[in-house]
Amino acid sequence: MRRLRRLANEASGEPLLLDYGSGRGRWARAAVAEGFRVVAYEPSVERGREAAPPFQLVHLESELRGMRFDVIHLEQVLEHVPHPFETLTKLKAYCGPHTIVRIAVPNILRDPSGRLIWETWPFDGKAPHVLAPFEHLHGFTPASLRELCLRAGYQPIPPHHIVRTHPVTLLRHWIGFAWPRLGTTLQYLSLHSQNAPR
């Protein structure tokens, strides 16, 4: 969150962050600690109760209508939603010209079963499968997540904007082109990459 805060805008006061699918509020609390104003969206009222928020917590997307955010944060969310493309498309309504969208999902290629991933599906009797039914609905690779984001209308933030704050992420992106299993599915995006960040 500290690096994301610097990337959002080193000169601004308190950028507004949407923690979309905030769960128990771990990342939302970390964002508040780093100087973000935070709106956390968690559709599960029960899970949201555990958040103990020092931030605004909402359970209905209608409560976000008309809001614009400096940062939209999706940590381990897209693998759980039924329609990731529709989710990303819908989030564009909350973006301004300099909004940063941060997405992280599991890299399915890093599953210990490797090429045998489907032989143990849905459950090997020991540990939850990376695509456990009713838990992870989708599996992503670095390439498939990148393609999904491009199709939804997002652009990667150019390397020269993130190299100072996220050099390891950038290195892992480059490694991932040659060795996808070692690549990262962490994405920093914008609707207008030439305009982000300031």
Domain containing 36 — which CATH number? 3.40.50.150
The closest of 177, 141, 144, 181 to 159, measured between CA atoms, is: 177
Instruction: Give the pLDDT score at 8.
Output: 87
What is the domain extent for residue 135? 2-195
DSSP assignment of 121-164 equals -SB-SSSB-TT-TTT----B-HHHHHHHHHHTT-EEPPHHHHTT
Instruction: Give the pLDDT score at 100.
Output: 94
d(CA 80, CA 189): 20
Which residue is associated with the tokens 């090429």? Answer: 115
d(CA 184, CA 176): 7
- Enumerate the β-bridge partners of residue 156: 189
Instruction: Give the pLDDT score at 128.
Output: 65
Instruction: Give the pLDDT score at 19.
Output: 96
> Are 37 and 93 contacting, i.e. CB atoms less than 8 angstroms apart?
no
Instruction: Give the pLDDT score at 85.
Output: 96
Instruction: Give the pLDDT score at 48.
Output: 61
Domain count, the chain: 1
d(CA 2, CA 182): 24
* Residue 188 CB partners (closer than 8 Å, separation 6+): 7, 100, 101, 102, 156, 157, 162, 166, 169
- What is the residue-level pLDDT of the chain in tens, covering all 198 positions? 999 998 887 545 789 999 999 988 899 999 999 999 999 999 887 766 666 678 999 999 999 999 999 999 999 899 888 899 999 999 999 999 889 999 999 888 776 665 666 666 666 667 666 666 566 778 888 999 999 999 999 999 999 888 888 888 888 888 888 888 888 899 999 987 555 565
d(CA 81, CA 42): 12
> Are 100 and 70 contacting, i.e. CB atoms less than 8 angstroms apart?
yes
Coil, strand or helix at 83 = coil
> Are 70 and 97 contacting, i.e. CB atoms less than 8 angstroms apart?
no
> Are 103 and 187 contacting, i.e. CB atoms less than 8 angstroms apart?
yes
Cα of 28 vs its chain's centroid, Å: 13
Which residue is associated with the tokens 């599906």? Answer: 121
